[in-house]
């Protein structure tokens, strides 16, 4: 992998660049389309190509369970397995420590508001139904969401699985904590993530002797500036090819937290903000120096009838759209907007037709891909801050 910075925005950390991978070049900043199980939900690989998605990310934990890393390796890697031949990424499985742990069966998300309420990450009822992950210094023990069977991920095991999944860029195994975890727990988790990072590097070097996979380290630290900066210094000093910014955030200061980290991380290496996909958050992330970001939001929203527009989200299930024969957005060039009306999508959702989720997801993915593409153009044209101000003024 090779990363080149082409243009910076004075007074900010924003930059435009390019990442060369074995399967193509990514023009940054770029939105990474999520194909959790080697499929972008509701879309075909042809849709992905037509949308000009530059890179697809798959989930290590889910592909480990189904169909298994050995089968994916026999297929030639998850990209070839799904019929997508551009740049690829896999996460490490670390996020499932949170989603199957502190967040399982609750409304807790990685972005919260207000003060930290205390740690709920270390699991007391792992053998019951409340939690499906248990974290130790050695790794994370999961229960399969398919059949309840136990599985243990160590940093080394994550590297071995991701090697078989065959992505161009992979992530070190980390502990993604709850946004409600207190300072003391976040500090312990940070030390654990650093130890895991060193173990990931060692195992990755044993597997990837020709260095065909780029390995990204993950910066944690929760909502605490002191810990975020400590993580950026320690993880940033390790020989990673790039960096992911992970963990939990406070909604009100997400941009600031990203800025704390990127002001310290090596400038010459790419930075990926993990699991963030709200339009306003993407502007903040770009301004604070992020090059890549992934999120399941555009397809998840699409399957439930929520659509992105330049003026904010709309719920196409609302009655007012049943006789609205205009496109979702009049200036949008996606297939859905150039061929179908709001009334047609409203009908499909009300009739529970499968096509509803596909057409809505096409629009939402197109919206974010083009929005970030426009951010890149604005950086290159020295108009990024003006573009951000204009977008925010119209977006509700």
| Dist CA 31 CA 112 (whole Å) | 23
Residues 6+ apart with CB under 8 A from 210: none
Residue 357, sorted as left (phi over 0), alpha (psi -120 to 50) or beta, turns out to be alpha
Element housing 231 (H / E): helix 225-236
3-state SS, residue 193: helix
Closest to 12 measured CA to CA, from 245, 267, 235: 267
Quickly count: other Cβ atoms within 10 Å of residue 153's Cβ: 23
Give the tokens for residue 171.
């992530």
Q: Are the CB atoms for 248 and 94 separated by under 8 Å?
A: no
DSSP assigned state of 320: G
Active site residues per annotation: 91, 294
Give the tokens for residue 242.
């790039």
The angle at the Cα of 35, spanning 120 to 135, to the nearest 5 degrees, equals 25
């Amino acid at each position: 992998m090779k990363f080149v910075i082409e243009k910076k925005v004075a007074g900010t950390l924003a930059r435009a660049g390019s990442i060369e991978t074995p399967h193509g070049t990514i023009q940054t900043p770029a939105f990474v389309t999520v194909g959790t199980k080697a499929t972008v939900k509701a879309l075909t690989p042809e849709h992905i190509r037509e949308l000009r998605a530059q890179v697809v990310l798959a989930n290590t934990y889910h592909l480990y369970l189904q169909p298994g890393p050995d089968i994916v390796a026999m297929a030639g890697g998850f990209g070839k397995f799904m019929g997508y031949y551009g740049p690829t990424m896999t996460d490490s499985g670390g996020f499932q420590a949170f989603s199957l742990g502190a967040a399982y069966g609750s409304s807790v998300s990685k972005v919260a508001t207000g003060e930290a309420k205390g740690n709920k990450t270390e699991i007391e009822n792992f053998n019951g139904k409340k939690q499906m992950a248990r974290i130790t210094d050695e790794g994370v023990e999961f229960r399969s969401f398919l059949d309840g069977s136990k599985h243990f991920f160590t940093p080394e095991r994550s590297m071995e699985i991701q090697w078989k999944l065959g992505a161009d860029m992979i992530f070190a195994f980390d502990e993604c904590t709850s946004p409600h975890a207190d300072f003391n727990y976040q500090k312990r988790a940070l030390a654990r993530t650093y130890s895991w990072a060193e173990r990931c590097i060692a195992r990755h070097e044993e597997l990837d002797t020709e260095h065909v996979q780029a390995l990204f380290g993950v910066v944690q630290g929760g909502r605490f500036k002191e810990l975020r900066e400590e993580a950026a210094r320690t993880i940033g000093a390790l020989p990673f090819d790039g960096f992911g910014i992970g963990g939990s955030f406070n909604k009100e200061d997400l941009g600031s937290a990203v800025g704390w980290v990127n002001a310290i991380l090596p400038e010459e290496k790419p930075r990926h903000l993990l699991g963030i996909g709200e339009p306003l958050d993407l502007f903040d992330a770009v301004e604070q120096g992020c090059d890549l970001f992934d999120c399941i939001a555009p397809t998840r929203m699409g399957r439930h009838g929520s659509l992105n527009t330049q003026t904010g989200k709309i719920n196409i299930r609302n009655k007012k759209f049943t006789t609205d024969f205009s496109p979702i957005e009049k200036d949008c060039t996606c297939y859905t907007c150039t061929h179908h009306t709001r009334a047609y999508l409203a009908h499909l959702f009300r009739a529970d037709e499968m096509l509803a989720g596909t057409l809505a997801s096409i629009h939402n993915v197109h919206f974010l891909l083009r929005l970030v593409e426009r951010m890149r153009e604005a950086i290159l044209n020295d108009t990024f801050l003006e573009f951000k101000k204009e977008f925010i003024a119209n977006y509700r």
